[in-house]
Each structure stands twice: as structure tokens, then as C-alpha cells.
Amino acid sequence: MKRYIFPVALAFGLIVGSTSAQAAEEGGLLPAGTNVQDQASLQRGAKLFFNYCVGCHSLKYMRYSRIASDLGLSEQEVMENLNFTGARFDDPVISHMPADSAAKWFGKAPPDLSLEVSAKTADWVYTYLNTFYLDPHSPIGWNNTTLPNAAMPFPLWELQGLQTAEMKPAKPGEDPAVEKLVLSQPGKLTPAQYQQATRDLTSFLEYVSEPVALERHHYGIWVLLFLAFFTLLAATLKKEYWKDVH
């Protein structure tokens, strides 16, 4: 019986994983493939966030000190490479963009991203970062197929390059819709490198949404080992207790 348990569990995991990926694709979302246990990925994602995003967006529920502790970074590394706002090591991550200026430039203040992945899923954030395109009809010159008419300019355009949209033939009485996006001008990264970069950034934001997940995964292994040991102990005790009855 035991030899069948692992294959069945593995098959179930593959079915669930493929179903989730298929659901994401059917919903117009790309599977992010994030892994919050990959510390190197989280470090790269943090670097991208603090170089390209913190100018507008805050992480008000995260402190620089917590990020350092969780991502295996020293205080010096964080203060020299991630802190560009003059904050103290124990301060939360707050954008230095004045709220009144943000409202004037973008119509409203850019949202805090502490819970962005929890609210919209990692697949949504990853897809959003990969679906910006040039739009001459937009006030900011950019648009996005995942969030049409978004007020945010594309901060990663130098990395990805410039995408343009090929439109579907418009039906009478309907607005034209985007059929596909084409990379018309390459950026500093290849498409594969850019996808990895946005996967790292999404992983970092996924970690920020639930930092305790790192500890939960760590302790989960010990909990499972304890349960396995307790089950073995209970089975042995039951066998010893009932041996005279049978």
C-alpha cells in the first residue's frame, strides 16, 4: 500500500499545478512561477523594487530591518544599496514622493504595494509587468492590456524595450481591441531575462504580502516530522496495548 502513496500524491500535485496554470492562461494571465523560498530571487526582486518602484510606491507594512533579516542582507548592504529615501534602518519603506505632487501628476497617489499580490495574485502582477505597450492616444503615452488605461507610466521600459500593439479588426460599434503585443525595440535585457526579472520582482512583492510565509515553510517541515513521529509512536502504543486482546 505504501508504495502507491507517493505516486498518487505526485500525480495529484501535477494535476493541481497544471490546472492552476491552465486557469491562469484561460483568464488571460501568465503563470508567474514565483518561489519565495528562493532567497537569491528575492534579493534581485528587492533590488528592482528599490531602483524602479520606490520612487512612487511605498511598502508601509515592511521595515528595512525586516527585509534585511529575511533576505540575508546586512544593515550596511541595505542602507547602501536599497535605501534611497534617507530613512533609518528600522523605518518602514515609504516613498519620498509627496502625496500632493502624486495626485497632480497621476490624478491620484500611487497605491501602497504591501498587499498587492495578496489582493490580485502573483499571476496578475507578473502579467501586468509584461503587458505594457506604447499608446499615442494615452495621456502618459503608455497603456496596458491587463489594466487598460492605467495611470502609471511604464518604469521598466529600459529593461524590456518598447512594445507596440497589433489590433484586431474592429467590429461596427465596438472599440478596437489588442490582438497581440510585439517587441518593436529591444531593451537592455533579452525577453527571457526580462521575464526572469519581473518574476523576481513579483516574488519579492509576494514575500512582502506575507513575510511570515518564510517562517511558516521552515517550521512546517518540523511540524510534519513531529506528526510522523507521533503517528509512529501512537501506532506502536496501540499495537502494544491491544496485543493481549487479540
**What are the structural domain ranges in the chain?**
30-230
Q: Which of 158, 163, 201 is nearest to 180 (CA)?
A: 163
Residue 125 or residue 96, greater confidence:
125
Rounded mean pLDDT, 2-21: 41
The whole-angstrom separation of Cα 162 and Cα 184 is 6
The whole-angstrom separation of Cα 85 and Cα 54 is 9
Rounded mean pLDDT, 122-149: 95
Residue 91 or residue 214, greater confidence:
91
Confidence of residue 180 (pLDDT cuts 50, 70, 90): very high
Q: What is the pLDDT of residue 177?
A: 86
Superfamily of domain 30-230: Cytochrome c-like domain (1.10.760.10)
Is a pLDDT exceeding 50 seen at residue 58? yes
pTM: 0.77
User: Are residues 64 and 221 in contact, defined by beta-carbon separation less than 8 angstroms?
Assistant: no
The whole-angstrom separation of Cα 143 and Cα 116 is 19
The whole-angstrom separation of Cα 7 and Cα 150 is 46
Q: What is the pLDDT of residue 21?
A: 39
For 25-55, the pLDDT digits (tens) are 445 899 999 999 999 999 999 999 999 999 8
